[in-house]
Amino acid sequence: MKLSVINSGLFKLDGGAMFGVVPKKLWNRLNPSDENNLCTWAMRCLLIEIDDKKILVDTGMGDKQDERFRSHFEPHGNDSLIGSLSKNGLKAEDITDVFLTHLHFDHCGGAVKRDEQGKLVPTFPNATYWSNKSHYEWALNPNPRERASFLKENFTPLMEAGILNFVEEKEGNEIWNGVKIKLVYGHTEAMMPLEITYKNRKIIYCADLMPSSYHISMPYVMSYDIRPLETLKEKKILLENTVTNDDILFFEHDAKFECGTVKRNVKGSIVLNETFNLADIQ
């Protein structure tokens, strides 16, 4: 197995929304906001190469939305989804599978693009795309709280093209050799972080269960989460397992750190231990 970080760019989100009930006086020390209360976040995807598979996990927000939409999130930086794949010697046509942890725009927007005629088409023409039935149906009929995050143009073209498949909704389901899904329900319905066995370690692709290293602290739960108390329970279970097994956390939205480990401090709380790049794992 080979793992590679695929950076799809940076964007901005409201600091209060990202840090929930935590006062700005505290979170602003971690990720300082601009004059509009916006903080910078990564859209860090993952490439898994195993056997004859080239699997892309999440796709960032893409670039097909209009300027009005993009102005709310200020996408920036030198990285892009296709550009990062190119740096790894791959073209869009080389991707065999695209695994979408969930269908919020900043995780699946790059799954679909506009062709030269402006038609919505799959970005990865030879790939099978993966979601799950519960989450897809949830995204098709969004509640008012999440409606702005589910843009149907990001995923219905995949279903219309007949290339969107649903994984079995089973905790620990091994969908590829060494790659298992987890199911969590706090952030959105049936989101699927991944547990990847790599170099005799387990790497947890956290998705939005823990979008950054700042969210390791228990009170740091996003206001975007539909069931914040469930997120607290899911975080506690994940962190307890992580500290016991010395697992590695992969942060999708942390603009500074790709990966990290956790430890217990003298008070017994689980806190960030070490941070490092994916490529540094021995």
Q: DSSP string spanning 141-158?
A: S--TTTGGG--GGGTHHH
Distance CA 207, CA 211 (A): 6
pLDDT (average), residues 252-272: 97
In a domain? residue 117? yes
pLDDT at 198 over 90: yes
Confidence (pTM): 0.97
pLDDT at 162: 97
Specify the pLDDT at position 224: 97
CATH code of the domain covering residue 83: 3.60.15.10
| Distance between CA atoms of residues 183 and 223, nearest Å | 20
Question: Tens digit of pLDDT for each residue in 151-187?
Answer: 999 999 999 999 999 999 999 999 999 999 999 999 9
Query: Is residue 232 included in any domain, yes or no?
Result: no
For residue 114, the enclosing domain spans 2-201
* 211 occurs within a structural domain: no
pLDDT digits (tens, 9 = 90+) for 52-97: 999 999 999 999 999 999 999 999 999 999 999 999 999 999 999 9
Does residue 25 carry a pLDDT above 90?
yes
Tell me what pLDDT residue 228 has.
98
Q: What is the pLDDT of residues 225-253, one digit of tens each?
A: 999 999 999 999 999 999 999 999 999 99
Calpha distance 6→141 (Å, rounded): 30
Query: What is the four-CA torsion angle of 222, 73, 46, 6, rounded to 10 degrees?
Result: -150
- What does the pLDDT read at residue 236? 97
| Alpha-carbon dihedral sign for residues 58, 62, 66, 70 | positive
Question: Is position 38 within any domain?
Answer: yes
pLDDT for 205 = 98
Under the banding of pLDDT at 50, 70 and 90, the label for residue 282 is confident
At 226 the pLDDT is 97
Residue range 86-134, pLDDT digits in tens: 999 999 999 999 999 999 999 999 999 999 999 999 999 999 999 999 9
Pull the structure tokens for residue 113.
């693009």
Q: Is 229 helix (H, G, I), strand (E, B) or coil?
A: helix
**H/E element, 268:** none
Would 110 be classed as within a structural domain?
yes
> Does a structural domain hold residue 52?
yes
Examine residue 44 and state whether it is found in any structural domain, yes or no. Answer: yes
Angle ∠(139,140,144) on CA atoms, nearest 5: 65
Q: Looking at the 3D structure of the chain, how many domains does it have?
A: 1
Segment 203-220, tens digit of pLDDT: 999 999 999 999 999 999
Report yes or no on 280 lying in a domain.
no
